[in-house]
Amino acid sequence: MLHSRKINQWIIPLAASVLFAACASNEKEETKKTEPVIDNILLKEWTGPYGGVPAFDSMKLEDVKPALLQGMEMNLADIDAIANNEAAPTFENTIVEMERAGAPLNRAFNYYGILSGNMSSPEFREIQAEMAPKFSEFSSKITQNEKLFQRIKSVYDASQKTPLAADKQRVLDLTYISFTMKGAELDSTKKAEYAELSKQLSSLYTKFSSNTLHDEENYVTYLTKDQLGGLSEGFVKSAAKIAADKGKEGMYAITNTRSSMDPFLTYSTERELRKQVWTNYYSRGDNGDEFDNNELIAEVLRLRRKKVELLGFKNYADWRLQDRMAKTPENAMNLMMAVWPAAIARVAEEVADMQAIANKNGDKITIEAWDYRLYAEKVRKDKYNLDSEEVKQYLQLNKLTEAMHMVAGELFNFKFTPVPEGSVPVFHEDVKVWEVTDLTSGQNVGLWYLDPYARQGKRSGAWATTYRSQSSFDGDKNVLASNNSNFVKPAPGEALLVSWDDATTFFHEFGHALHFFSSDVTYPTLNSGVRDYTEFQSQLLERWLATDKVINNYLVHNKTGEAMPAELVAKIKKASTFNQGFSTTEYLASAIMDMKLHLADPATIDIDKFERETLVEMNMPKELPMRHRTPHFGHVFSGEGYATAYYGYMWADVLTADASEAFAEAPNGFYDKELAAKAVKFLFAPRNAIDPAEAYRLFRGRDAKIDALMRDRGFPVPAK
């Protein structure tokens, strides 16, 4: 995997703009002030152990809409009280009160997020479609509240003469910038237009997500017993169970998700079926029917351009990147294009190796996109005598979970203890919960929820989220965080075995969770993430999967319990840069496309034509697709979190490679206590309380260098 697994947290459409202080965690902290009596369970304060937990076992679909409507009313009442305060504006009576506002609505949004990302249904999607424009209107009522903004501006202007304490200044700066970026300084006519454009976009984002999920749920490939060539026993058993659950007893189902598609394309010997499965997956949102996303995307691009033109920007990318590490689209493109030539050159080498194997075997084919994974495996075996299926026998999900918890103890001083089943409410029987404690103090840090399996109504991919983030301005809050995956559930009694890439993804998402648990900030807004930085910490944690402590103690054979043999470990490490052409190119193509779409004139754009022509201009190898083709690019078109920001994974990977070299060079390597403490102090605990570039310099003593990234991928280091 290189990048789509990051994907990080579920994002309610427009949630990031609905509650400015909810930020990346979609959650603000509980308030100490007295709240009105609330009957709706989704709005009520959380009760029970661990500082209170969501009542996931009590949420009902019929409660969702009333909770959201009442929660928005309550939140707006909080905002009006702040805006109409007759006292002179201060940090305490304006910014701090904004940090407290809307606690009931934030609680409701946690349930909404679960129903959206983990347990969607046609009935829920109807509610989503109805609520999306209401969320947008609600957001606009806050960001366009003139009295409120004048109070914020007054506090901000005063701070330019007499700066506040560092964390207060940071939250004030972020709040002020957030409001100005959303049109707070526009005149009344332009504000109304901006709000209407936001409202239209919110509905389009919801429709995009629904269309994509429709195609994921409805394009299933059913196999008969004579079509299972090359597939592992465990995969076949899982496919049989999925088919049976879908009323197709005696057949085998390949679902239209990456977790099902990827292993099928890697091992199936049925070329025409590989083509069918590949086509189903990469055609999501692009089937020329009522669920086609192409014209919807074109309209999104037009509306986004109109919005930012109101703010004086020439395109969406210029507007979006002003508060990111890259600062400008040119800087982001320069990084991507510095890597792109080496990536596609490596693809050419990989394809040549694959074609040679095909020719040697007398297969009489020309390598196509649906052949790439299968023949890459053949090359891996030929070049490195490494069989991914053999490696998979040592990658059990439960043992990987134990390994992650060990790493958390060694680096972060956290202990993970399973919570007795039934003692904490969960939204599905597959969800397991662990208590997280600090090994030194013995104090509770929070709870970790794990939802590992794919199911009907669950969005694809892997992500992390928080139900409650840490902050201390109203008493220290513990953290409720979750990791969510889409592994195909094994047949009863079978171990869940995953690929090395999937194991890497698992560690990556856990890195997000550790970022949440490590947080040490005063104000909720400081838990927000800078998009081209927030993936860095999770990418960094991936590196511990390949450490000796993990390999020797947790990568054990699922049948014999024996540790992974030293010769197999050596093969894995020797092949560490294998297939980097594929993984880098498929990701970068999506990231470059994201940027180019938002820099192009959207007036008469034809999405299908633009995608095809742009890939030709880029010399995109025909033997592989973008990781996310435009019609199902949910990162970018189901909301605004990653729009013109998908490059951020590469930006963060420069930091990751550079920081990894620091650990590799440390006296005790990746488990060096002194360097780990420094990483927690400067890279994890501050969240967004420190400017990311400065935080990295505090850790490394200098800025990151691209050379480490190129070495990491086995690419030539650019000449100085």
Report the domain count for the chain: 3
Helix (H) or strand (E) holding 453: strand 444-453
pLDDT range class, residue 26, cuts 50, 70, 90: very low
- What would the pLDDT profile of 110-147 be if each residue is shown by its tens digit? 999 999 999 999 999 999 999 999 999 999 999 999 99
Asked if 105 and 250 sit in the same domain, the reply is no
16 pLDDT above the threshold of 70: no
Question: CA of 482: how far to CAs of 58, 77, 116, 121, in Å?
Answer: 19, 31, 15, 21
**pLDDT tens-digit series, residues 389-436:** 999 999 999 999 999 999 999 999 999 999 999 999 999 999 999 999
Q: Where are the alpha helices (DSSP H) in 219-270?
A: 233-245, 258-267
The CATH number of residue 464's host domain is 1.10.1370.40
Single residue among 184, 208, 232 that ends a domain in this structure: 208
Mean pLDDT along residues 175-189: 96
The token pair that represents 646 in the structure block: 């998908």
- Give a yes or no: residue 282 inside a domain: no
If asked whether residues 23 and 42 sit together in one domain, one would say: yes
Among 400, 407, 457, smallest CA distance to 427 is for: 457
433 and 508 in a single domain? The answer is yes
Q: Which residue has the higher pLDDT, 95 or 488?
A: 95
Tens of pLDDT along 465-484? 999 999 999 999 999 999 99
pLDDT > 60? residue 30: no
**Considering only CA atoms, which of 687, 588, 605, 596 is closest in space to residue 647?**
588
- Residues 6 or more apart whose CB falls under 8 angstroms from that of 173 comprise 156
User: For residue 304, is it within any domain?
Assistant: no
165 and 263 fall within a common domain: no
Whole-angstrom distance, CA of residue 639 vs CA of residue 641? 6
Summarize pLDDT for 321-361 with one digit per residue, the tens. Answer: 998 999 999 999 999 999 999 999 999 999 999 999 999 99
Please give the pLDDT value at position 34.
53
Q: Which domain holds residue 565?
A: 397-574
Q: Which uninterrupted H or E stretch holds 436?
A: strand 432-438
pLDDT in tens, 699-710: 999 999 999 999
Domain boundary among 157, 184, 208: 208
Write down the pLDDT at residue 38: 85
Q: Where are the alpha helices (DSSP H) in 322-464?
A: 329-360, 372-384, 388-392, 397-412
User: Shortest CA distance to 18 belongs to which of 137, 195, 147, 146?
Assistant: 137
Write a three-state SS string for 310-343: HCCCCCHHHHHHHHCCCCCHHHHHHHHHHHHHHH
User: Is 227's pLDDT higher than 50?
Assistant: yes
Is 68 in the same domain as 186?
Answer: yes
Give a yes or no: residue 154 inside a domain: yes
Task: Annotate 443-479 with b (16+ C-beta within 10 A) or e (fewer).
Answer: eebbbbbbbbbbeebbbbbbbbbbbbbbbebbeebbb
Please compute the mean of the pLDDT values over residues 661-682 and round it to a whole number.
98
Contact indicator for 99, 524 with CB cutoff of 8 Å: yes
Residue 574 reports pLDDT greater than 60? yes
Percent of the chain with pLDDT over 70: 95
Alpha carbon distance 539, 550 (integer Å): 17
Cβ contact 42:436 at 8 Å: no
Say whether both 228 and 124 belong to one domain.
Answer: no
